[in-house]
Amino acid sequence: MKPPAFAWLLLPAFLLLASCAGTPSADGPQPGGLTSAVPGQPVSLPGIDDPTAPARPRTSSTDLRQRKARPSEVRRARPLLAQAFWLEGASTGAKRRVVISLSHQLAQVWENGTLIAQSPVSTGREGYHTPPGQYSIVDKRREHYSSLYGEFIDASGRHIGLARSGQKPPKGARYAPSPMPYFMRMTWSGIGMHQGYLPGWPASHGCIRLPEAMARKFFEELPKGTPVEIIP
């Protein structure tokens, strides 16, 4: 059975992993609503950014004035942190697909019509939008570094500023490319999924950032050739 394009789970503001011996299906989405049931007993996952952070309250006009430096897309109220999980009882080797929603900042993994995993993400910020479309994982590298972006580091090892590849560093500094662990390439122009910081809004240069634990799990469980659909 073909899974729905996306059955969204906007769940409590905790980043958790659900471990389950079986492979029960999540409840299907209701018309005009969201999928809300996750089977299994939640277990805390190490390596996920700020697992107990509450949702940010609606942004006020005063707050916006104080944050003028941020792009307009970043000024939106921080969404609820979605519950992250992977159903450990899911069968291996079965056909899987990933669906990523830019508006919900959420990724889901489907296996034969069953939702088996979910994670919050951070996609491209204003000016670096992650392009919607149909993709697949074409390459995987556990240790990967950006060929486009990085930072300047002075002689003492202090980070002194963000930079692009080829940009001349200040005197006494050096350029270091940005690490992108658990990189799952989707285009040869640089778009992929990888471990990265999740502030709660789109913040990347176009890639799809995942919390460390979920990036590692996606990397281990999703082979090359896995279809990836990015929707608005």
State whether 159 and 100 are in the same domain: no
The residues facing 133 across adjacent strands are 230
Q: Which two tokens stand for residue 102?
A: 């830019």
Let me know if residue 74 belongs to a domain. Answer: yes
Contact 100, 106 (CB under 8 A): yes
Let me know if residue 8 belongs to a domain. Answer: no
* Containing structural domain, residue 153: 145-179
Total domains present in the chain = 2
The phi and psi torsions of 96 (rounded to 5 degrees) equal -125, 155
Angle made by CA atoms 46, 111, 196, in degrees to the nearest 5 = 35
Q: E strands along the chain, which residues? A: 16-19, 41-44, 85-86, 96-101, 106-111, 114-120, 133-136, 139-141, 145-153, 159-164, 174-179, 183-185, 192-195, 208-210, 227-231
Q: Which two tokens stand for residue 127?
A: 């000016």
State whether 175 and 221 are in the same domain: no
- Cα dihedral 35, 41, 44, 46, rounded to 10, equals -90
Per-residue pLDDT of the chain (232 residues; tens, 9 = 90+): 555 454 544 333 333 333 223 323 333 332 222 233 343 333 333 333 333 333 333 333 323 333 333 333 333 434 445 679 999 876 666 789 999 999 999 999 999 889 999 999 999 999 999 999 999 999 999 998 887 787 888 888 898 887 788 888 888 888 888 888 999 999 998 899 999 999 999 999 999 999 999 999 999 999 999 999 999 9
Let me know if residue 48 belongs to a domain. Answer: yes
Is 0.75 surpassed by the pTM of this model?
A: no
